[in-house]
Amino acid sequence: MVMNAHHGVVPFKLPAAPEGRHWTRLIDSNRPGIAVARYEFGHVYDVTGRSLLLFVLTSRSRRRE
């Protein structure tokens, strides 16, 4: 979960995670209805002012179906 209480945009670098494959954005409160999207480790996401983001980590052991 990423929260930005500031009024302006704040860049957030998605961290690497042991046993992780990538991050998936589920929610961006300033962009309702935006499609789910995948981001690689190290991607810099511009977090808009007064917003909340929710990312979920996809693990390496998870199989594609």
pLDDT in tens, 5-57: 999 999 999 999 999 999 999 999 999 889 999 999 999 999 999 999 999 99
Question: Is residue 64, in this structure, part of any structural domain at all?
Answer: yes
Place 64 in a pLDDT band, splitting at 50, 70 and 90.
low
How much is the pTM?
0.85
What is the number of structural domains in the chain? 1
Dist. CA 49–CA 8, nearest whole Å:
5
Question: Is residue 25, in this structure, part of any structural domain at all?
Answer: yes
CA dihedral 52, 53, 54, 56 (to 10 degrees): -160
CA-CA-CA-CA torsion sign (52, 47, 56, 24): positive
Rounded to a whole number, what is the distance in angstroms from the first to the last CA of the chain? 26
| Closest by Cα among 47, 36, 49, 41 to 18 | 41
Q: Which two tokens stand for residue 15?
A: 């961290």
Domain that holds residue 29: 19-36+53-65
pLDDT value at residue 49: 97
